[in-house]
Amino acid sequence: MITLSGIIGSGKSSMTGLLAKELGTKAFFEPVEDNPVLPLFYKGNEIAAKKRADGDKEATNPYAYLLQTYFLNRRFKMIKEAMKEDNNILDRSIYEDELFMKMNTEMGNATQVEYQIYQDLLANMMEELPFAARKKSPDLMITIRVSYETMIKRITKRGRDYELIENDPSLVEYYKKLLRYYDEWIEAYKVSPLLVIDGDKYDFVNNNKDRVEVLEQIENELFKLKKISIEQMDNFRKKHQKFL
């Protein structure tokens, strides 16, 4: 099992699709387009930020806890589906879920009570996951690390109105803070082998050479972990020559 992690706009979903095709396995994607809570959450962030700026220090985002429990529930279901098969790739890790709830609590968007309930729920879910008896962690965690500038460029390109900083200036602080939280999360992550991809350096979506280089970084790591054979490595390299 391979899991992807990274901030919004880092290219997780794109890399999940590319990697699943490369390895001939199934991709499991985080629900975004059909998420009814996400636009409400962004609007709630904007309203809460304005209220706090106007002196209401207790203003919270009523959708922060709802969004994170929505994601947690959908991700829990996705992992259970993925674990029915031997090989799969998930475009978001349950291990980074708490990061968002923690940050929203510290920003004032969620309450300490909501955060504690969320932590208890997450802990219970982790105990119940079916892979607990077989494997307690992914075989490989891949994190795509990007700068604020790259993130904003990609967010702007895909054009979801509620994610755009020109529509909501409070998102500038939110995104920059989220980047700092991800840096801390990457440094603290010890659950499984971790491979960090430089998302600023490699445009693996639009550039064939960059795509091949990133795929080979991942495959080399899988080979070192004894998850793919030398024969598979040779086949991947032969296939890559057609794209260079």
Residue 164 has pLDDT above 50, yes or no: yes
What does the pLDDT average to over 79-107?
86
Enumerate the known binding-site residues for ATP: 6-14, 154-158
Name the residues annotated as catalytic.
Answer: 91
Break the chain into its structural domains and give their ranges.
Answer: 2-201
CA–CA separation, 145 and 186 (whole Å): 9
Enumerate the known binding-site residues: 6-14, 30, 42, 68, 92, 97, 154-158, 163
Q: How far is CA 122 from CA 38, 47, 118, 119, 173, in A?
A: 20, 28, 6, 5, 27
Residue 34 has pLDDT above 50, yes or no: yes
What's the predicted TM-score (pTM) here?
Answer: 0.86
Lowest mean pLDDT among 14-18, 28-32, 110-114, 192-196: 28-32
Mean pLDDT value across the chain: 89
Enumerate the known binding-site residues for substrate: 30, 42, 68, 92, 97, 163
CATH code of 2-201, in short, is 3.40.50.300
Provide the pLDDT for residue 79: 81
pLDDT digit string (tens) for 75-88? 888 888 877 777 88
